[in-house]
């Protein structure tokens, strides 16, 4: 192309390409519209349904464009008002969190500045901020300063990072895989088995250790299983325990398991995705021994009530983490002098990613830690309160949980499972409070997971009222 031709072509593209760079007046108008929408959304939460099942309209991407106001209407009707309302305190299904407003502001700043946090050289401030979040977590869980960690998208990716380090430390590859043994409990989160498969360990031997009546792993059984496997020539290498199981809110005996892991030379991984932050509460003693683990995961998008999209992993053995995640490349040569461990890119499969540190750091600096602890203590008491109310209605309860997830069923004299299923369906049809179900010890049960910061005593009263009404319909 001639230079003149090139300049003409550039000029022709200019006004259209500029449309992406919105000017200040329009930016203000857009922010106002979004602020108004967000305020309306949040203010109406207390009367909003927890669950609604609607058909999704046409969301395909065609050649026409929409105004922001049209887009906000589409968002409200097709997304916000459809399915589980995960911002509402009435979401008591799966593992909720809520979505702190302060984090939304942090996400906005992170996106506006497009900060590149993965490499210290690119944004020393952002990298340091993320590293300070990791330091704060190490402190909470009693991990040494030499431990490493990073913020991921959630518990599943955190698990991948931790297990990859365990695999590399123990050299589990090729012909060693079918002889390697992983120990877990029936109540372990399914992301555990999934991670093993993804990292090439789908063919390891998996031992499911028996639980006590509170759904906690029985440490002596674990030890016996390891002894037996060693005696038959297998290679025990990884023990996965939970501090806060998804279905039963149980904390495995971490201290005893840690001692077994140390004595047997196994890697001890603790899944604290849901329950980890309860270590800041009166339940602290139940976490004794977590500081001896080799790795742990914890989800700020659960127990810190942050919007979805942030998990964390801590690993003591930095060499093991670097083995799979550190890679030098020519186009990265400008950054290669930076201290390896200051850049999360060397500790995670992710390179370019959202600046997640700010959405954790900002709310902590803005609110301080006390309101978080108060919210968590409140959830523990609300769980006890919910259980008392259900018992008065004649429900059977699962064992007292260690944390804030527990389950119940109604002792219908016949077709108990089928009728509890019908009760669950009636609760979903009602939708004022959302609960989910599970199978525990072969029984259909309804779970209650109390974790969002917006869940209050009035929410539990509303849930009990709804359950009472739904039960009437089945009886
Ligand atoms: C939620 C959860 C996970 C998975 O985490 P994601 O953030 O959903 O990927 C793992 N373990 C436990 C105990 C969980 O509650």
Q: What is the CATH number of the domain that holds 257?
A: 3.40.640.10
Query: Is 55 part of a structural domain of the chain?
Result: no
The rounded percent of the chain whose pLDDT value lies above 90 is: 96
User: Ligand 1 pocket check: which of 99, 152, 299, 404 to mutate, most ligand atoms within 8 Å of Cβ?
Assistant: 299
- 84 in Cβ contact with 91 (< 8 Å): yes
Q: Which of 306, 338, 367 is the last residue of a domain?
A: 367
Task: Note whether 244 and 278 are same-domain residues.
Answer: yes
Query: Is 27 part of a structural domain of the chain?
Result: no
Query: Is 258 part of a structural domain of the chain?
Result: yes
Is the beta carbon of 436 within 6 A of some atom in ligand 1? Answer: no
pLDDT for res 403: 98
Is the beta carbon of 155 within 6 A of some atom in ligand 1? Answer: yes
Is the beta carbon of 311 within 6 A of some atom in ligand 1? Answer: yes
Task: Note whether 164 and 284 are same-domain residues.
Answer: yes
Please name the residues in contact with 184: beta carbons below 8 A apart, sequence gap of 6 or more. 192, 206, 207, 208, 209, 239, 240, 241
Which residue puts its alpha carbon closest to atom 8 of ligand 1?
155
Is the beta carbon of 156 within 6 A of some atom in ligand 1? Answer: yes
Q: Which of 339, 367, 395 is the last residue of a domain?
A: 367
pLDDT for res 162: 98
Task: Note whether 328 and 405 are same-domain residues.
Answer: no
Task: Note whether 315 and 198 are same-domain residues.
Answer: yes
Tokens of 261: 């892991």
- 31 in Cβ contact with 71 (< 8 Å): no
Query: Is 468 part of a structural domain of the chain?
Result: yes
Sheet of 180-185, strands arranged across: 148-152, 311-315, 295-298, 267-271, 235-242, 180-185, 205-209
The residues facing 444 across adjacent strands are 439
- Closest atom of ligand 1 to 154 CA is 7
Helix/strand/coil (H/E/C) assignment for every residue in the chain:
CCHHHHHHHHHHHHHHHHCCCCCHHHHHHHHHHHHHHHHHHHHCHHHCCCEECCCCCCCCCCCCCCCHHHHHHHHHHHHHCCEECCCCCCECCCCCCCCCHHHHHHHHHHHHHCCCCCCCCCCHHHHHHHHHHHHHHHHHHCCCCCCEEEEECCHHHHHHHHHHHHHHHCCCCHHHHHHEEEEEECCCCCHHHHHHHHCCCCCCEEEEECECCCCCECHHHHHHHHHHHHHCCCEEEEEEEEECCCCCCCECCHHHHHHHHHHHCCEEEEECCCCHHHHHCCCHHHHCCHHHCCEEEECHHHHCCCCCCCEEEEECCHHHHHHHHCCCCHHHHHHCCCCHHHCHHHCCCCCCCCCCHHHHHHHHHHHCCHHHHHHHHHHHHHHHHHHHHHHHCCCEECCCCCCCEEEEECCCCCCHHHHHHHHHHHHHHHCCCECEEEEECCEEEEEEECCCCCCCHHHHHHHHHHHHHHHHHHC
pLDDT for res 159: 98
Pairing of strands 83-84, 51-52: antiparallel
Tell me the mean pLDDT in the region 431-445: 97
Tell me the mean pLDDT in the region 83-112: 97
Q: 229, 219, 286, 230: which is closest to 258 by C-alpha?
A: 219
Please name the residues in contact with 89: beta carbons below 8 A apart, sequence gap of 6 or more. 45, 46, 98, 452, 453, 454, 455, 456, 459
- 404 in Cβ contact with 429 (< 8 Å): no
Q: What is the mean pLDDT of the chain?
A: 96
* Confidence category of residue 331, pLDDT binned at 50, 70, 90: confident
Tell me the mean pLDDT in the region 261-283: 98
Q: Which of 367, 399, 421 is the last residue of a domain?
A: 367
User: Which pTM value belongs to this model?
Assistant: 0.96
Q: How many CB atoms lie within 10 A of CB 198?
A: 16
Task: Note whether 376 and 357 are same-domain residues.
Answer: no
pLDDT for res 178: 98
CA of 71 to the centre of ligand 1 (A): 32
Q: What is the tens place of the pLDDT at every residue in 54-79?
A: 899 999 999 999 999 999 999 999 99
Is the beta carbon of 103 within 6 A of some atom in ligand 1? Answer: no
Task: Note whether 357 and 379 are same-domain residues.
Answer: no
Task: Note whether 231 and 248 are same-domain residues.
Answer: yes
Whole-angstrom distance, CA of residue 420 vs CA of residue 407: 12
pLDDT for res 1: 87
Task: Note whether 381 and 339 are same-domain residues.
Answer: no
pLDDT for res 32: 98
Is the beta carbon of 277 within 6 A of some atom in ligand 1? Answer: no
CATH of the domain at 437: 3.90.1150.10
Q: Is the pLDDT at 327 greater than 90, yes or no?
A: no
What crossing angle do the helices spanning 457-474 and 370-392 adopt, rounded to 10°? Answer: 30
pLDDT for res 273: 98
Is the beta carbon of 299 within 6 A of some atom in ligand 1? Answer: yes
Tally of domains within the chain = 2
Query: Is 2 part of a structural domain of the chain?
Result: no
Task: Note whether 461 and 430 are same-domain residues.
Answer: yes
Query: Is 185 part of a structural domain of the chain?
Result: yes
User: Ligand 1 pocket check: which of 273, 308, 313 to mutate, most ligand atoms within 8 Å of Cβ?
Assistant: 273
Q: Give buried/exposed letters for 286-297 (b at 16+ CB in 10 A, else e).
A: bbbbbbbbbbbb
Task: Note whether 243 and 135 are same-domain residues.
Answer: yes
CA of 273 to the centre of ligand 1 (A): 5
Looking at 111-115, 141-145, 326-330, 379-383, which range is the least confident one?
326-330
Is the beta carbon of 247 within 6 A of some atom in ligand 1? Answer: no
Q: Is the pLDDT at 9 greater than 80, yes or no?
A: yes
Query: Is 300 part of a structural domain of the chain?
Result: yes
Q: Is the pLDDT at 385 greater than 90, yes or no?
A: yes
User: Ligand 1 pocket check: which of 99, 152, 155 to mutate, most ligand atoms within 8 Å of Cβ?
Assistant: 155
Q: 239, 241, 244: which is closest to 225 by C-alpha?
A: 239
Is the beta carbon of 241 within 6 A of some atom in ligand 1? Answer: no
Is the beta carbon of 248 within 6 A of some atom in ligand 1? Answer: no
Is the beta carbon of 401 within 6 A of some atom in ligand 1? Answer: no
Is the beta carbon of 89 within 6 A of some atom in ligand 1? Answer: no
Tokens of 282: 């009166």
Whole-angstrom distance, CA of residue 66 vs CA of residue 475: 50
C-alpha dihedral sign at 260, 175, 196, 144:
positive
pLDDT for res 338: 59
pLDDT for res 120: 93
φ, ψ dihedrals at 462, nearest 5°: -65, -40
Tell me the mean pLDDT in the region 435-452: 97
Is the beta carbon of 246 within 6 A of some atom in ligand 1? Answer: yes
Is the beta carbon of 191 within 6 A of some atom in ligand 1? Answer: yes
* Confidence category of residue 156, pLDDT binned at 50, 70, 90: very high
* Confidence category of residue 457, pLDDT binned at 50, 70, 90: very high
* Confidence category of residue 53, pLDDT binned at 50, 70, 90: confident
Whole-angstrom distance, CA of residue 183 vs CA of residue 239: 5
Map tokens 């931790």 to a residue. Answer: 162
Is the beta carbon of 434 within 6 A of some atom in ligand 1? Answer: no
CA of 103 to the centre of ligand 1 (A): 20
* Confidence category of residue 337, pLDDT binned at 50, 70, 90: low
Q: What is the tens place of the pLDDT at every residue in 167-193?
A: 999 999 999 999 999 999 999 999 999
Task: Note whether 283 and 234 are same-domain residues.
Answer: yes
Is the beta carbon of 189 within 6 A of some atom in ligand 1? Answer: yes
- 249 in Cβ contact with 242 (< 8 Å): no
Q: Is the pLDDT at 330 greater than 90, yes or no?
A: no
Q: Is the pLDDT at 336 greater than 80, yes or no?
A: no
CA of 12 to the centre of ligand 1 (A): 51
C-alpha dihedral sign at 289, 291, 295, 300:
positive
Query: Is 234 part of a structural domain of the chain?
Result: yes
CA of 189 to the centre of ligand 1 (A): 7
Task: Note whether 147 and 162 are same-domain residues.
Answer: yes
Domain that holds residue 438: 370-474
Tokens of 453: 């910061």
Map tokens 């409990």 to a residue. Answer: 185
Is the beta carbon of 95 within 6 A of some atom in ligand 1? Answer: yes
Which residue puts its alpha carbon closest to atom 5 of ligand 1?
155
Tokens of 352: 């370019």
């Amino acid at each position: 192309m001639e230079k003149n031709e090139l300049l003409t072509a550039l000029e022709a593209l200019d006004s259209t390409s500029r449309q992406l760079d919105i000017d200040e007046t329009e930016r203000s108008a857009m922010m106002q519209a979004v602020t108004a929408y967000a305020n309306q959304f949040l203010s109406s939460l207390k009367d909003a349904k927890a669950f609604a099942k609607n058909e999704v309209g046409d969301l395909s991407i065609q050649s026409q464009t929409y105004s922001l106001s049209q887009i906000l209407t589409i968002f409200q009707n097709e997304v916000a008002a459809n399915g589980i309302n995960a911002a509402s305190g009435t979401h008591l299904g799966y593992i909720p969190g809520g979505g702190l407003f302060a984090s939304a502001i942090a996400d906005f700043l992170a996106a506006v500045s497009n900060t590149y946090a993965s490499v210290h050289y690119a944004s020393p401030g952002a990298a340091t901020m993320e590293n300070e979040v990791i330091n704060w977590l190490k402190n909470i869980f009693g991990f040494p300063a030499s431990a490493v960690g990073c913020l991921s998208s959630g518990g599943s990716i955190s698990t991948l990072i931790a297990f990859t380090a365990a695999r590399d430390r123990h050299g589990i590859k090729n012909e060693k895989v079918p002889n390697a043994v992983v120990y877990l409990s029936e109540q372990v989160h399914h992301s555990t088995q999934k991670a093993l498969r993804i990292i090439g360990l789908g063919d390891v031997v998996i031992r499911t250790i028996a639980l006590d009546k509170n759904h906690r792993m029985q440490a002596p059984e674990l030890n016996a299983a390891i002894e037996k496997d060693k005696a038959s020539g297998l290679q025990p290498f990884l023990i996965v325990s939970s501090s806060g199981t998804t279905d039963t809110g149980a904390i495995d005996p971490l201290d005893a398991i840690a001692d077994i892991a140390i004595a047997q030379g196994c890697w001890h991984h603790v899944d604290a995705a849901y329950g980890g932050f309860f270590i800041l509460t009166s339940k602290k003693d139940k976490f004794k021994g977590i500081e001896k683990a080799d790795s742990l995961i914890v989800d700020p998008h659960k127990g810190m009530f942050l919007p979805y999209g942030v998990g964390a992993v801590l690993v003591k053995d930095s060499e093991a983490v670097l083995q799979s995640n550190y890679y030098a490349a020519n186009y990265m040569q400008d950054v290669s002098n930076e201290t390896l461990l200051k850049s999360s890119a060397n500790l995670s499969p992710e390179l370019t990613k959202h600046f997640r540190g700010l959405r954790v750091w900002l709310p902590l600096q803005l609110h301080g830690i006390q309101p978080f602890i108060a919210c968590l203590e409140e959830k523990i008491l609300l769980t006890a309160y919910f259980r008392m109310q259900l018992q008065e209605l004649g429900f059977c309860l699962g064992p007292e949980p260690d944390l804030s997830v527990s389950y119940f069923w109604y002792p219908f004299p016949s077709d108990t499972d089928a009728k509890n299923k019908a009760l669950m369906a009636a609760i979903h049809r009602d939708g004022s409070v959302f609960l989910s179900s599970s199978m525990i010890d072969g029984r259909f049960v309804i779970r209650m997971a109390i974790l969002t910061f917006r869940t209050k005593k009035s929410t539990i009263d509303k849930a009990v009222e709804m359950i009472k009404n739904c039960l009437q319909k089945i009886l």
